[in-house]
Amino acid sequence: MARIVFIGAGSTVFARNLMGDILSFPELSNSTIVLHDIDEVRLRTSEIVGHKIVETLGVTARIEATTNRREALAGANYVITMFQVGGYKPSTVIDFEIPKKFGLEQTIADTLGVGGIMRGLRTIPIMLDICRDMEELCPDALLLNYVNPMSMLCWAISRASAIKTIGLCHSVQHTAHQLADDLGIDADTIEYRCAGINHMAFYLEFQQRIGSQVTDLYPRISERANVFPMPTRGDVERSDGGFDGLSDAVRYEMFKRLGYFVTESSEHFSEYVPWFIKGGRPDLLDRYGIPLDEYPRRCERQIEGWESLRTRLENPDAKLRVVQSLEYGSGIIHSCETGVPRTVYGNVPNRGIISNLPDDCCVEVPCVVDASGISPVTIGALPPHLAALMQTNINVQSLTVEAVLTGKREHVYHAAMFDPHTAAELDLDQIWNLVDELLDAHRGMIPEQFFS
């Protein structure tokens, strides 16, 4: 019977999906799921949801909840992390509002850029604290990390801990389904090979298989890339009769320039490169449908809807529907427990997997999972222009990790200095002043070593 610990279980919707995924496997239906969070109210809601899932599926799983992290981790077989340090207020607000004063606009700010750097400074120390607890309380457990900034966290763990870990994101499989939908193709017929770094992995192959017939789909993607204005995803009608939505124009544009389709969404990708968000160029924002401040808006909508959602989830008379998600976590646990092999896309130390990226960086590649654990698939060399693009992001990741592990404040400046979007917008004095202001605003949420 597996003991599966959720750290950050107050992320109720995500926890609900993962619990449903895990307990839908008959071989995992008698697991113990331990929910941990520092927010007692949200933790209680997730616990209620967990018991509802058990009841809906008619399984014998045990649901426990605790605010004591060490108590939760003791004897764990699997640890799933899904937390955010600092929350929307104050941290996310700080990450957006202070850069905006300097003329630096962002969309999501959780992976790269000055927002991603600050999130890394806040989150890496907490993640390493969890790893130290695991080394003492459950040294053989597998850590499945869903927390951003993914590459920075996995890189830091590989340098500072012996805990086995894999970083999990849904961008690879979700984008494959989205592309299939764009092309009017059944997603179950899609086959692909993808590699790179988190949020900047590319489909090296994207095909459709029907029986023994395999068709390269890149020519059809190329046709679609030439269609403008690009249709939006998730359109929502406004009161004035117009529509708001998220455009895919950025990554279709990048496909035209690079010849390969990137896994991460346009709103994310636009802030990883220097070409789309530029002060004084609102025409670029309009042409590519780039939603500045998208993440704060999402947070505000979630906060506004939380109480009504919580009421529905806790309603004792309401039935809870369990639908299998596309997340990899449950499948990994199932394969480790049963030996049934499956391939997932995960974030792991490079160690020669991609030969033209740094050996110690974190890469996102196919991994075979079975009873022996996780075995990344060797990719070899990526197309050189893709590797060059990824290196610009790897530089920022590397310096942020270095800053935390060495305590050297100067590497925070260096990380921001080499960030592609920041460097395209600000001069060196502005970057130094921006970092100083961000560090001061985050004091108490990042290590004191940066202020000594």
Kindly state the DSSP code that residue 354 receives in the 8-state scheme.
B
d(CA 248, CA 242): 18
Q: How far apart are CA 52 and CA 58, in angstroms?
A: 10
Count the neighbouring beta carbons within 10 Å of the beta carbon of residue 26: 11
Question: What is the C-alpha separation between 151 and 153, in angstroms, rounded?
Answer: 5
Residue 372: exposure state from Cβ atoms within 10 A (0-12, 13-18, ≥19): exposed
Distance between CA 176 and CA 160 in Å, rounded?
A: 34
Q: What separation in angstroms does the CA of 254 have from each of 111, 221, 275?
A: 19, 12, 10
Active-site position among 170, 199, 334, 385? 170
5 strand-pairing partners: 34, 79
- Report the run of H or E that residue 245 belongs to, with start and end: strand 243-247
What's the CA gap between 379 and 373, in Å, rounded? 19
Helix (H) or strand (E) holding 348: strand 342-349
Rounded CA-CA distance 409/298 in Å is 31
User: What is the rounded CA–CA span in Å between residue 198 and residue 149?
Assistant: 9
- Does residue 170 have an active-site annotation? yes
Q: Which residue has the tokens 């058990």?
A: 54
Query: How is 263-292 classified by DSSP, letter by letter?
Result: SS-HHHHTTTSSSS--TT-HHHHHHHT--T
What is the distance between the alpha carbons of residues 441 and 183, in angstroms, rounded to a whole number?
46
CB 218 within 8 A of CB 204: no
In sequence order, the 6+-apart residues with CB closer than 8 A to the CB of 35 are 6, 9, 15, 43, 46, 47, 50, 63, 64, 65, 66, 72
SS3 content of the chain, % helix, strand, coil (to 5): 50, 20, 30
Q: Report yes or no: 46 and 18 within 8 Å, Cβ to Cβ.
A: no
Residues carrying an active site annotation: 170
